[in-house]
Chain A
């Protein structure tokens, strides 16, 4: 059986890049280039390996995200960890098992087709032999390319795949350890970086005399407008940093949009325009239908990890070691080496777990801060801890977006044409992308390293601003217009689900508007325009879970339900969400139902956990969040200024996983974002009879819309 090789295997073809048998200790060491970012990926990958090797998970160790040992699997992002990293590991393990069986067949003088494995012991015609993996692994040459041709073990109900296996990383975390923040290197010293008071501000002068004279201060390091203090203790570094920041004079250069609405400031910026005729450009124009259009928006959003970024580094004997919670250790290593003028071989980057990251946050920047300071102070292990303020203002944001949807309903009430016009900044500007380091400190140096020319991920691989700009509905004429805003007033990069959140919010809100215009139940309207059977199945399932009966869904009664649906990226998992909202003093979401089809389920509880988390995070974006600025500075720099959903605001959530074991596993961490926002928006529209098209949907916006 020949299957296409996932990218990770094309880049790291050799079997011994993926696993190693330690026969003396009777353990298998797995190497993963994907990393744990709180999404449970390592547990899923270990489950896959254990299944394919017919071993228990207890006999496996995973080394992940270390530039010295782990395969280079690029970034841990885009819900690809199980889809690509897991499938690669599965192919590697299937081949290892096949090779081990071949070795056993020689020793047992039995044809390989009569040999199976259970818990690492070979069985001959289902009868135990005395031979195990550990007896024959030494004879196998693992330095050979993974071909993808080794047969997979069948997945059956009593096996590991699909089971709610507990997360491997939780026991340590429940004991209070397990994070990069907790790493204490011998003789470690503490650093704080004094970040510009507004984006791109430059230092005019700094008086560091008093800070340097403080007991315990080891160094004040300045390189252009990069300013940091290193001290023996963390409290020493903190108070010296505070003092320095008061005595630093900045020239501010940023021009931020102040309080004006996204729909005004974003489309007013220069854009690079592109039109994609998705289909039906050659069809005759639609005549006699009814035309509709509406404009939607989302604000700039922050990743807002609970743990601010942290990085550690040590330069010793000419080698630099860096510890980071980055999503991409290889590209980070390459850029650190480049900026510091070191060879790549002299830089080792280790991944350690941080707080959930939800995309490109400050992790790489903090790692580089530490690397730069370690390079300046050889022999000293440096720990850099970002502040809450830095995390909410100096790390990259998710871009604001404006989306104009236009459609025509034909006489039969079907959607005849659709145009989606998207204004957005970049959704990815990671270290090394398009040739520049893209690390915050390097932009503060004198002269600064330029940020790379912003670019959007190619539309073909899921896109950035255009992610999910095309829905799955059967619409004969479909056109996209992309207005790419290159020069955003704030630094933007990848935030969980990229453009999908806003595109799905817009599309699925607009679908409800069309359904209403057609006088059709929004669930029925979706099904009428949707032929993809898996899409129909999740929409049907969620309606069933919620006991959806359109006739009974009151309008304008202050309580209502709404639906949202999408297939993430148009090619990953399917998800449909129904939200129930109650209008009390504010808008409160009382219940969420969600049906998911992500193909083969590896870990049912892990998947449910990801989906629940994605729903709650999306509710927070939908109801509360937006970065606030004045004309120069970012104002939302703490949790009071940038509130997120709290325990008192969490609805009941019911998730149903559709069992689809014959389909490949599909990335699911991001699928709920858009459908949740749309379901809430649609429910609010029905509850009050007014629609809010600008996120977040706050009480004030609802009142405004109602008074128009």
Chain B
């Protein structure tokens, strides 16, 4: 049994230590937001926060998460109330197919949690490990800027 926290809830799973966290989240814990994109740590579709750090969940074993706190996109909104990042992505229509979006949102959350007023270059840097094939990049950058403003209380 490996125990850790997912979105604040304690969970215990009975899987081999070396199973990738991504599969544990998606299949054993039914948290489907983190996506499988490459399984190679190259695309960021599977990004979650582990103790606040954006981490590619395909690239770490579940054992690594033991005792730690994992945040997935499902943990961002509170009930029906969207997290400012989700709200900003909606307002900027910052996606096309949206497959890359969950991972991007988690990278952005990791950034804004430690840097509430990022420059454009810092945003681009924080998204360096996220790929988007549809070309939604500019909207994504604008949405992160907007979310930062909402979080700072400069807009709503």
Chains A and B form a bound pair? yes
Q: List A residues at the B interface (Cβ < 8 Å).
A: 37-40, 164, 166-167, 169-171, 173-179, 181-182, 184, 233-235, 238, 304-308, 353-356, 358, 385, 387-388, 605-606, 609-610, 612-617, 620, 638-640, 644, 646-648, 650, 652-653
B11 CB within 8 Å of chain A? no
Q: How far is the CA of A179 from the CA of B33 in the complex (A)?
A: 10
Q: How far is the CA of A404 from the CA of B27 in the complex (A)?
A: 53
Q: Give the bracket for the number of chain B residues in contact with chain A.
A: 35 or more
What are 10 of the A-B contact pairs (CB < 8 Å)? A38-B97, A38-B98, A174-B101, A184-B30, A233-B27, A356-B133, A639-B38, A639-B43, A648-B125, A650-B141
A310 and chain B: residue at smallest CB distance: B36
A176 near B15: Cβ-Cβ < 8 Å: no
B40 near A638: Cβ-Cβ < 8 Å: yes
10 shortest A-B CB distances, which residue pairs? A176-B33, A38-B97, A616-B135, A173-B98, A613-B135, A355-B99, A356-B97, A388-B38, A639-B42, A182-B32
B96 CB within 8 Å of chain A? yes
Q: How far is the CA of A306 from the CA of B43 in the complex (A)?
A: 8
Q: How far is the CA of A662 from the CA of B135 in the complex (A)?
A: 30
Q: How far is the CA of A617 from the CA of B133 in the complex (A)?
A: 7
A235 near B35: Cβ-Cβ < 8 Å: no
Q: How far is the CA of A613 from the CA of B132 in the complex (A)?
A: 10
Q: Which residues of B contact A181 (CB under 8 A)?
A: 32, 35-36
Known: A182-B32, A617-B133, A650-B137. A40 touches B19 (CB 8 A): no
B38 near A354: Cβ-Cβ < 8 Å: no
B33 and chain A: residue at smallest CB distance: A176
Q: Which residues of B contact A171 (CB under 8 A)?
A: 90
B96 near A39: Cβ-Cβ < 8 Å: yes
Binds A, one of B69-77, B110-118, B148-156: B69-77
Q: Which residues of A contact B33 (CB under 8 A)?
A: 175-177
Other 20 A-B pairs with CB < 8 A, given A38-B97, A306-B133, A612-B138? A38-B98, A164-B93, A170-B93, A171-B90, A174-B98, A181-B35, A233-B23, A235-B16, A306-B100, A306-B131, A356-B97, A356-B134, A616-B137, A638-B42, A639-B42, A646-B131, A647-B124, A647-B127, A647-B128, A647-B132
B39 near A388: Cβ-Cβ < 8 Å: yes
Q: Which residues of B contact A233 (CB under 8 A)?
A: 15, 23, 27
Known: A176-B73, A615-B135. A38 touches B96 (CB 8 A): yes
A175 near B138: Cβ-Cβ < 8 Å: no
B32 near A235: Cβ-Cβ < 8 Å: no
Q: How far is the CA of A605 from the CA of B139 in the complex (A)?
A: 11
Q: Which residues of B contact A616 (CB under 8 A)?
A: 135, 137-138
B20 CB within 8 Å of chain A? yes
Identify the interface centre among A304, A388, A605: most chain B CB within 10 Å of its CB. A388
A306 near B37: Cβ-Cβ < 8 Å: yes
Query: How far in angstroms is the closest Cβ of chain B from A21?
Result: 30
Q: Which residues of A contact B97 (CB under 8 A)?
A: 37-38, 306-307, 353-356
Query: How far in angstroms is the closest Cβ of chain A from B119?
Result: 13
Known: A233-B27, A234-B23, A306-B133. A176 touches B72 (CB 8 A): yes
Q: Which residues of A contact B6 (CB under 8 A)?
A: none
Query: How far in angstroms is the closest Cβ of chain A from B40?
Result: 6
Query: How far in angstroms is the closest Cβ of chain B from A352?
Result: 12
Q: How far is the CA of A638 from the CA of B99 in the complex (A)?
A: 18
Q: How far is the CA of A606 from the CA of B134 in the complex (A)?
A: 13
A308 near B37: Cβ-Cβ < 8 Å: yes
A638 and chain B: residue at smallest CB distance: B40
Q: Which residues of B contact A169 (CB under 8 A)?
A: 98
B138 near A653: Cβ-Cβ < 8 Å: yes
B105 CB within 8 Å of chain A? yes
A614 near B135: Cβ-Cβ < 8 Å: yes
Known: A169-B98, A354-B99, A639-B40. A176 touches B74 (CB 8 A): yes
Q: Which residues of B contact A37 (CB under 8 A)?
A: 97
Q: Which residues of A contact B39 (CB under 8 A)?
A: 387-388
Identify the interface centre among B101, B124, B133: most chain A CB within 10 Å of its CB. B133
Query: How far in angstroms is the closest Cβ of chain A from B58?
Result: 10
A174 near B90: Cβ-Cβ < 8 Å: yes
B50 CB within 8 Å of chain A? no
Q: Which residues of A contact B4 (CB under 8 A)?
A: none
Query: How far in angstroms is the closest Cβ of chain A from B100?
Result: 5
Q: How far is the CA of A176 from the CA of B36 in the complex (A)?
A: 12
Known: A234-B23, A304-B133, A387-B39. A646 touches B139 (CB 8 A): no
Per-position 1/0 for B1-45, Cβ under 8 A of A: 000000000000001100110010011001111111111101101
Q: How far is the CA of A647 from the CA of B90 in the complex (A)?
A: 20
B105 and chain A: residue at smallest CB distance: A174
Q: Which residues of B contact A173 (CB under 8 A)?
A: 95, 98, 101-102
Q: How far is the CA of A253 from the CA of B92 in the complex (A)?
A: 49
Which of A178, A234, A388, A609 touches B96 (beta carbons < 8 Å)?
Answer: A609
Q: Which residues of B contact A613 (CB under 8 A)?
A: 96, 134-136
Known: A174-B89, A176-B32, A388-B38. A355 touches B133 (CB 8 A): yes
Q: Which residues of B contact A178 (CB under 8 A)?
A: 98
Q: How far is the CA of A179 from the CA of B39 in the complex (A)?
A: 18
Q: Which residues of A contact B55 (CB under 8 A)?
A: none
Q: How far is the CA of A304 from the CA of B131 in the complex (A)?
A: 11
Query: How far in angstroms is the closest Cβ of chain B from A152?
Result: 27
A175 near B45: Cβ-Cβ < 8 Å: no
Query: How far in angstroms is the closest Cβ of chain B from A618?
Result: 9
B130 CB within 8 Å of chain A? yes
A169 and chain B: residue at smallest CB distance: B98
Q: How far is the CA of A530 from the CA of B26 in the complex (A)?
A: 55
Query: How far in angstroms is the closest Cβ of chain B from A394?
Result: 15
Query: How far in angstroms is the closest Cβ of chain B from A170?
Result: 6
B86 near A175: Cβ-Cβ < 8 Å: yes
Q: How far is the CA of A653 from the CA of B86 in the complex (A)?
A: 23
Q: How far is the CA of A455 from the CA of B89 in the complex (A)?
A: 43
B138 near A652: Cβ-Cβ < 8 Å: yes
Which of B34, B37, B90, B135 touches A307 (beta carbons < 8 Å)?
Answer: B37
Known: A304-B133, A306-B131, A652-B138. A388 touches B95 (CB 8 A): no
Q: How far is the CA of A358 from the CA of B132 in the complex (A)?
A: 13
Identify the interface centre among B26, B74, B138, B141: most chain A CB within 10 Å of its CB. B138
B98 near A605: Cβ-Cβ < 8 Å: no
Q: Which residues of A contact B138 (CB under 8 A)?
A: 612, 616, 650, 652-653
Per-position 1/0 for B76-91, Cβ under 8 A of A: 0100001000100110
Query: How far in angstroms is the closest Cβ of chain B from A357?
Result: 8
Query: How far in angstroms is the closest Cβ of chain B from A381?
Result: 14
Q: How far is the CA of A638 from the CA of B38 in the complex (A)?
A: 8
Q: Which residues of A contact B133 (CB under 8 A)?
A: 304-306, 355-356, 358, 617, 644
A175 near B98: Cβ-Cβ < 8 Å: no
Q: How far is the CA of A233 from the CA of B82 in the complex (A)?
A: 32
B15 and chain A: residue at smallest CB distance: A235
A388 near B40: Cβ-Cβ < 8 Å: yes
B35 near A175: Cβ-Cβ < 8 Å: no
A385 and chain B: residue at smallest CB distance: B36
Known: A233-B27, A640-B42. A179 touches B99 (CB 8 A): yes
A175 near B73: Cβ-Cβ < 8 Å: yes
Which of A307, A617, A638, A648 touches B35 (beta carbons < 8 Å)?
Answer: A307
B34 and chain A: residue at smallest CB distance: A176
B96 near A307: Cβ-Cβ < 8 Å: no
Q: How far is the CA of A449 from the CA of B47 in the complex (A)?
A: 40
Q: Which residues of B contact A177 (CB under 8 A)?
A: 32-33
Query: How far in angstroms is the closest Cβ of chain A from B21?
Result: 11
B132 and chain A: residue at smallest CB distance: A306
Q: Which residues of A contact B86 (CB under 8 A)?
A: 174-175
